[in-house]
Amino acid sequence: MNIFKQLVPTKHGVRAAKKSCKAASLCLSRSSHDSSIEVNSEEQEVVIALGSNVGDRLSNFDNALDRMKKSGIKITRHGCLYETEPAYVTDQPHFLNSAVRGITKLDPHKLLGVLKEIERDMGRTGGIRYGPRPIDLDILFYGNQRVNTDNLVVPHERIWERPFVMGPLIDLLGLDTDNDTIKSWHLLSGCSGGIFEAWEKLGGETVIGKDGMKRVLPIGNKFWEWSSKTSVMGILNVTPDSFSDGGKFLTVDSAVDQVRSMVSDGADIIDIGAQSTRPMACKLSPEQELDRLIPVLEAVKNMPEMDGKLISVDTFYSQVALEAIENGAHLINDVSGGLLDSNMCNVVAGLKVPYVAMHMRGDPSTMQNLENLAYNDVCVDVANELYTRIRDAELAGIPAWRMILDPGIGFSKNTGHNLDILMGLPIIRSEIGRKSMAMAHAPLLIGPSRKRFLGEICSKPVANERDAATVASVATGVLGGANIVRVHNVGDNRDAVKLCDAMLQRKRKTSLM
């Protein structure tokens, strides 16, 4: 995706910002001499970069963010998470890097003091410049101000030469400029096309996945480079009423046998669901759902075959999510995106695990009502509504680097809508990117497996006769940018995914020649 080309036509692009940012320009010009700008009464929007390469790097990030929040910095946006080779001093461990946007009333030097105190409390000492450190916190931007004193320069003087800073910074922006402060940040880049043009000059998206810089998602005990190949999520329904395989895997032994078969066929993730979300399904209580789930989860997590594999739990209850993670699951897959349990996002934020947020209108009993099937443009509307859900999740404390997005094929959609989504995944990413590049960069999951729309198109009224159509829909989705496919028949879809991945890799290599 060429970010700069997409930036220029937007209604509130950087070129428009030049015209509408006279006040910011005045503020910038008056601070060209060495001076400190003290702001005590008004909130200022700031950008803070994070880096760590000593100890538990992700825990260091979580700890630093918690301390920042307690020190008067309200975190409003998170970048993606990057694992990068060290720069300048190369004989040291790899870094994790990201950045956050926040709001604070601290003046620039008080903010610097707070960040330095956090660094010291977390064990950072003087050491070697650019050397190893448990945490590194740098102020990239402070409102629309320039600061130039002996101990603080804002904007940070080396932003524009560092891909490991620019990547996370881009994530904090949208293609549509949302306020005058953001416009001023674009002006501060010194490029006519703003920060996006500065990023393109460093190589833009072409530097991700090479040159020692990977976009990763923390899951289980590893950092998952999810864009390197498509992952297959195998479906395990421990329910009597699921539309495709209800009643087949109710016993622990039958569930374990099915997991063993899916792992043998190439599943990367096992998604366990103990409550049916088919249209008009009976709704269980959290306690009933847990009674079905926990015995199977306990058995599956202890299977030798699951070494290196991941376990997802499909639930819209925060209580179930909490107990599932405490009993060995690695991520939560919520078909409601937090709509059916107001405490879900807070609980997942506290658990610090990945969160799959899916688009759905209503609930399983109402999602196919006529009012829930009314769209102006299904891809645009789904993107906007899904963004609202993930934005709420982010404000609850789930950072962008733990988000996985699902457009909800088959949920509040008719056959035409499902086809539009399968063919329109790039549109959904692009629309989300207008508001948040971090969310647009998140892994994308699709779940068309054996859905009714495939039966309608192919005249297959029986769900388990729709595997060929599922393979075709999965292939379309992967070629359109899906990173995870959720399926019943793992073996056939694993082969389809491998072929699509090979085609995409070939395309990337050819484009670089």
pLDDT digits (tens, 9 = 90+) for 438-494: 999 999 999 999 999 999 999 999 999 999 999 999 999 999 999 999 999 999 999
Banded pLDDT at 513 (limits 50, 70, 90): low
Average pLDDT over residues 309-313: 97
Residue 89 pLDDT class (50, 70, 90 cuts): confident
Average pLDDT over residues 377-402: 97
Instruction: For residue 161, give the H/E element and its range.
Output: none
| Residue 486 appears among annotated catalytic residues | yes
Q: Model confidence over 419-432: pLDDT tens digits?
A: 999 999 999 999 99
| 505 has pLDDT over 70 | yes
Give pLDDT, residue 4: 35
Selected catalytic residue, list 57, 183, 486, 494: 486
Q: Which listed residue (451, 452, 466, 494) is catalytic?
A: 451
Could you give the C-alpha distances from 223 to 218, 219, 403, in angstroms and in order?
5, 6, 14
Q: For helices 22-29 and 180-188, give the axis angle rounded to 10 degrees.
A: 50
DSSP 361: S
Question: What is the C-alpha separation between 361 and 367, in angstroms, rounded?
Answer: 6
**H/E element, 355:** strand 355-358
For residue 280, the model assigns a pLDDT of 65
Work out the pLDDT band at 36, boundaries 50, 70, 90.
very low
Active site residue 451: yes
Which region among 12-21, 296-305, 383-392, 406-415 has the lowest average model confidence (pLDDT)? 12-21
Residues 392, 359: Cα–Cα separation, whole Å: 13
Mean pLDDT (the chain, rounded): 89
* Whether residue 155 has a cis bond before it, omega within 30° of 0: yes
% of the chain beyond a pLDDT of 70: 90
Lowest-confidence pick of 165-179, 181-195, 234-248, 378-392: 234-248
Q: 190: alpha, beta or left, given left = phi > 0 and alpha = psi -120 to 50?
A: left
| pLDDT at residue 245, rounded to an integer | 62
pLDDT digits (tens, 9 = 90+) for 1-29: 343 333 333 333 333 433 434 433 434 43
SS3 86: coil
What is the reported pLDDT for 5? 37
Residue-level pLDDT at 9 = 32
Question: Do the Cβ atoms of 481 and 445 come closer than 8 Å?
Answer: no
The pLDDT of residue 155 is 94
From 477, 378, 345, 349, select the one nearest 422 (Cα to Cα).
477
Between helices 425-433 and 415-423, what is the axis angle to 10°?
A: 70
Q: Which residues of 108-127 are buried (b: 16+ CB within 10 A; e: fewer)?
A: bebbbebbeebbeebebeee
**pTM (predicted TM-score):** 0.90
Query: Residue 95: its pLDDT value, please?
Result: 93
Across 41-60, average pLDDT: 94
